[in-house]
Amino acid sequence: MDVSAVLSQLGVESSSFESGPLSVHTPIDGSVLGHVTPHNARDVQAAVAAADQAFRALRELPAPKRGELIRVFGAELRANKALLAELVSVESGKIRQEALGEVQEMIDICDFAVGLSRQLYGLTIASERAQHRMQEQWHPLGPVAVISAFNFPVAVWAWNFTLAIVCGNPVVWKPSEKTPLCALACQALWERAAGRASVGPLSPRALSQVLLGGRDVGELLANDPRIALVSATGSTAMGRALSPKVAARFGRVLLELGGNNAMIVTPSADSKLAIRATLFSAVGTAGQRCTSLRRLFLHESIHDSVVEQLTRAYADLKIGSPLLPDTLVGPLIDGGSYERMQAALTAAREQGGKLIIGGTRVLADQYPQAFYVQPAIVAMAHQTEIVCQETFAPILYTLPYRTLDEAIDLHNAVEQGLSSSIFTTDIREAEQFLSARGSDCGIANVNIGPSGAEIGGAFGGEKATGGGRESGSDSWRSYMRRVTNTINYGNELPLAQGIRFAD
């Protein structure tokens, strides 16, 4: 597969992907797409120093002018949507529709960030003292490191990057080792766009930098006191290793880690909708979204019929190259992912699960170096250990339940807390699920699946998902520091709480 034409149209210089010790493979057929050079400790030092320097200038640029940078970047993305989506499909293996959706998600967050650049509001607060005024200001925080995963190789960076820039912070980005080309393309588009915006002496290069490499690069960024915020997306294990390093120097983290997302389908649900939503959420992106549906709680009165209808729908799924127009399920990212899927299926069987459909490798003759699988449904009588783990592959566990209280208890009895949903037409059930004693996740939906969130809401989850919130709503606050100001415009010096002292 030749992506050099796509890369060069996106503005990536061929020298950056034509030679280097790290080869980049497409999950579509396993062939080599290019070669890149990982950055070393000295490069990381230089990038952080440049970001730190750029921060001093960016924080002085008025926020609406910072928004202008993102406005031109959004226009560049609009003009290159199809090309960038093509690269996303080829490098990450997601189908065209989803790749286009991912680039659209970047465009949407650009629009959001541009508006936000004029709305970084602080509160004014009533002072208890006469002739005093209190207010909050939000100031730029400092250089931000973004560590992103292969499954959303461009959008998750864009959520962070666009907000960080309008909030006044340069970004250094360590993309997944599996998707470096997408990162190089985003950087090239950014440089092209930002070159057209008027930012005075600011160099667009220093506002966004890409550092290729593995865990070592991530660790250097986590340990560097000049990095004010580390925003990391990936496994819970990665977050567990990274977070204490940042905490040890009192840096900030924004974590979006594992999910083990569920759906509860009650007897009153519109089952047609529930089945369509299950398909998209469980097999979309070949089960490799943080928000993918992994646990399906079905009321015992509808369990068998829903499983039967789902099985029929699974049997019809078109699996194949993500570049073909009618494919719904593309490949897994690599062989390791396939192995982990098989190990999970074995464990599920050992723990009493019944494989209803799927799980097997397909198209191995056509693509011996790639890993396509038939998405699996496993009926479980109980929520066993393997069901409580996140396996980043298309395995859907179905579980029967009797009462909604029991379903919600089971729903919440996993360590992760990212996304969740209920299908019901009963307002009491819906509201109970959304209430304080309902779903304990960061995202809780009614009559839509757990995946495919819009950018306008805050995205992230609780417990082992890490507690971070990215993207919309007031997530921008993570990228700024809050200053509380008390201003005395009188001639007296009254103390708070009525304290009298030497007066």
Binding site for ligand UN1 (CB under 6 A): 105, 151-152, 156, 233, 289-291, 451-453
Q: Provide the minimum distance between the beta carbon of 253 and ligand UN1 in the complex, in angstroms, as a whole number.
A: 16
Q: Which is nearer to ligand UN1, 117 or 148 (CB)?
A: 148
Distance from C-alpha of 5 to C-alpha of 293, rounded to nearest angstrom: 36
Q: Which is nearer to ligand UN1, 156 or 348 (CB)?
A: 156
* Backbone dihedral angles phi then psi of residue 475, each to the nearest 5 degrees: -60, -25
Distance from C-alpha of 303 to C-alpha of 253, rounded to nearest angstrom: 41
CA torsion sign, 155 to 159 to 160 to 161?
positive
Which of 68, 290, 390, 429 is flagged as catalytic?
290
Q: Provide the minimum distance between the beta carbon of 286 and ligand UN1 in the complex, in angstroms, as a whole number.
A: 12
Q: Provide the minimum distance between the beta carbon of 455 and ligand UN1 in the complex, in angstroms, as a whole number.
A: 7
CA torsion sign, 118 to 468 to 147 to 181?
negative
Q: Are 440 and 412 contacting, i.e. CB atoms less than 8 angstroms apart?
A: yes
* Structure tokens belonging to residue 437: 């004693």
Residue 382 is given by DSSP the state S
Q: Which is nearer to ligand UN1, 156 or 265 (CB)?
A: 156
Q: Provide the minimum distance between the beta carbon of 233 and ligand UN1 in the complex, in angstroms, as a whole number.
A: 5
Distance from C-alpha of 85 to C-alpha of 203, rounded to nearest angstrom: 27
DSSP for 389-458 reads S--SSSEEEEEEESSHHHHHHHHH-SSEESEEEEE-S-HHHHHHHHSTTS--SSEEEESS-SS---TTSE
Q: Provide the minimum distance between the beta carbon of 42 and ligand UN1 in the complex, in angstroms, as a whole number.
A: 31
In Å, what is the CA distance from 31 to each residue of 35, 459, 488?
12, 34, 68
Please confirm, yes or no, whether 256 is among the known catalytic residues. Answer: yes
Q: Which is nearer to ligand UN1, 68 or 470 (CB)?
A: 470
Distance from C-alpha of 456 to C-alpha of 461, rounded to nearest angstrom: 16
**Helix, strand, or coil (residue 54):** helix
Which of 68, 256, 390, 429 is flagged as catalytic?
256
Chain-centroid distance of CA 465 in Å reads 11
Distance from C-alpha of 8 to C-alpha of 384, rounded to nearest angstrom: 49
| Residue 423 bridge partners (DSSP) | 265
Q: Which is nearer to ligand UN1, 103 or 453 (CB)?
A: 453
**All residues at 6 or more sequence positions from 360 whose CB lies less than 8 Å from its CB, including other chains:** 373, 374
Distance from C-alpha of 222 to C-alpha of 303, rounded to nearest angstrom: 46
Distance from C-alpha of 303 to C-alpha of 463, rounded to nearest angstrom: 29
Q: Provide the minimum distance between the beta carbon of 289 and ligand UN1 in the complex, in angstroms, as a whole number.
A: 4
Q: Which is nearer to ligand UN1, 158 or 229 (CB)?
A: 158
Q: From the CB of residue 127, how many other CB atoms can be counted at a distance below 10 Å?
A: 16
CA torsion sign, 201 to 207 to 208 to 214?
positive
Q: Which is nearer to ligand UN1, 55 or 392 (CB)?
A: 392
Q: Provide the minimum distance between the beta carbon of 175 and ligand UN1 in the complex, in angstroms, as a whole number.
A: 13
Please confirm, yes or no, whether 186 is among the known catalytic residues. Answer: no
**Helix, strand, or coil (residue 122):** coil
Q: Which is nearer to ligand UN1, 182 or 290 (CB)?
A: 290
In Å, what is the CA distance from 238 to each residue of 133, 245, 311, 330?
45, 12, 34, 26
Q: Which is nearer to ligand UN1, 27 or 168 (CB)?
A: 27
Q: Provide the minimum distance between the beta carbon of 291 and ligand UN1 in the complex, in angstroms, as a whole number.
A: 4
Task: Single out the residue of 284, 222, 224 nearest to residue 254, CA to CA.
Answer: 222
Q: Provide the minimum distance between the beta carbon of 197 and ligand UN1 in the complex, in angstroms, as a whole number.
A: 27
Q: Are 417 and 442 contacting, i.e. CB atoms less than 8 angstroms apart?
A: yes
* Structure tokens belonging to residue 225: 């006191």
Active-site residue set = 256, 290
